[in-house]
Chain A
């Protein structure tokens, strides 16, 4: 891949805290213009990776580049970034407006009008002291501070914690609009539905190592589909006992006149196989991201 088309390059990054190796050779390339979801269980190294990208933590080995600029050249690299963490810490004794004015002063240009527009969209008052805001409203101010200067790259660490479902929808719309305008997003999240709705690609991290890196579509097509077949009892019995003849097909469950199977592989082979059966109805369900997620981590545990 051409280096210029990468918003973030993470190359062989290792990070330890004492004897605890938290990142074990992370390699990632985030393409310009994509929304990249970074998934993993608690303590897998998601936040540490983000903090290394932002130069809050210094990598033991390896390097990070943001649009080809070293992340340690903070003035240049960070002027391209908007950052929101799960619990954004802001100056409690300032009003939201004073805080955003301070953020505005860190960048070239005046973005206060943009901040006020975002405040209207997110329905948050700017004349209240940050210390008196609820967690959700604080998070909204954090989101405004990340977006107001129209950065080329958004780094979001569990961004929607504290948002109610309505604001989560607003957040999704804002991010899709941001992407439409050419922005790149690197986000870690626990909310798989959110990742499924927003992301072009996802990376899975476990115990400090990347264990999977795929586009959402690739992930779906390579993952196990759920097939629900209706037929008479005799035919269902046949399918149940003969399904192993097609590689990739396996039994999940059985109810009255219905059988659920899992399938990963060439869909044409499945169709050929099913055409030989006397079935009355068939439903093929796309796997949900949480199923894929669990699948991937279970496989990894087995390995």
Chain B
């Protein structure tokens, strides 16, 4: 098993490097500007904005505490959306993308069973997305050191893992659609739409009461980027991912593999 994982990680090394660097710098620079916002007059400006918009760019309290700032400015929008895009790309590229190119046909002609191939690729996807999530975590720590602020690292790790879980779930939606249909474009399109619609619904639900029921189907509803992680929400996110994985594997095991000819 380790050989397929290492091959994938080796092949994706430049992608990992650039994403790692990008997310790391994003986190460092975001943290670096915290003192500017904390000491500025941003609170009064934010008060004048509608609640739904405040939800998107972060409520006023988040600009005053380092915890609130990390939660709102890094883990509310930028990192989860960015990592969800990466997750969808990785899951679609490694599964339906390789299938479309004909690589899965070659892999299956070796001693790899279908489940084994999927588990290898799943593990490689988790490692890649996990590494980039870690970049956000490391970036925040570097940023905190630069501005001489402290924050509970355990809590930062919890938020990061929660973010990783959310992004993996979006990737697993792409995986599920790919496994059922074998179509790469469909997998990317539907899962990307699900990310953005989910985010919009959850960010607007506090202002639009009719969105309360659709919000239950949004993964962002179960995502906590704050200090308190809800066990029930974690359970929902974990179960959702597992269901996508199991259904995806079952359908992939039953259907024909797409070939390049």
Instruction: Point out residues on A near B: beta carbons under 8 Å.
Output: 17, 47, 51, 54-58, 74-75, 78-79, 81, 83, 85-91, 93-94, 102-103, 105-107
Task: Decide if B256 touches A58 in the complex (CB within 8 Å).
Answer: yes
Chain A residues near B230 (CB, 8 Å)? none
Task: Decide if A57 touches B256 in the complex (CB within 8 Å).
Answer: yes
Q: Beyond A56-B256, A105-B3, A106-B3, is A75–B113 a contact (Cβ under 8 Å)? A: yes
Task: Decide if A56 touches B257 in the complex (CB within 8 Å).
Answer: yes
What 1/0 flags go to B221-261 for Cβ under 8 Å of A? 00000000000000000000000000000000011110111
Chain A residues near B254 (CB, 8 Å)? 58
Cα distance, A57 to B116, chains bound together (Å)? 17
For residue B213, CB closer than 8 A to chain A, the reply is no
Cα distance, A51 to B108, chains bound together (Å)? 10
Number of interface residues of B (CB under 8 A): 23
Cα distance, A217 to B102, chains bound together (Å)? 38
Task: Decide if B111 touches A75 in the complex (CB within 8 Å).
Answer: yes
Kindly provide the distance from the CB of A292 to the nearest chain B CB, expressed in whole angstroms: 28
Within 8 A of A (CB), among B74-91: none
Task: Decide if B108 touches A89 in the complex (CB within 8 Å).
Answer: no
Instruction: Point out residues on B near A: beta carbons under 8 Å.
Output: 3, 7, 11, 101-103, 105-106, 108-114, 116, 254-257, 259-261
22 pairs, A vs B, C-beta closer than 8 Å: A17-B256, A51-B257, A54-B105, A54-B108, A56-B259, A58-B256, A74-B108, A74-B111, A75-B111, A75-B116, A78-B110, A78-B111, A87-B102, A87-B260, A89-B103, A89-B106, A91-B11, A91-B103, A94-B7, A103-B110, A106-B111, A106-B112
Q: Beyond A78-B110, A106-B112, A107-B111, is A56–B105 a contact (Cβ under 8 Å)? A: yes
Q: Beyond A78-B110, A106-B112, is A85–B105 a contact (Cβ under 8 Å)? A: yes
Task: Decide if A90 touches B256 in the complex (CB within 8 Å).
Answer: no
Task: Decide if B111 touches A93 in the complex (CB within 8 Å).
Answer: no
Cα distance, A221 to B116, chains bound together (Å)? 49
- Closest-by-CB residue of A relative to B113 is A74
Q: Beyond A75-B113, A89-B101, A89-B102, is A56–B7 a contact (Cβ under 8 Å)? A: no
- Closest-by-CB residue of A relative to B110 is A106
Cα distance, A56 to B254, chains bound together (Å)? 10
Cα distance, A86 to B106, chains bound together (Å)? 12
Chain A residues near B101 (CB, 8 Å)? 89
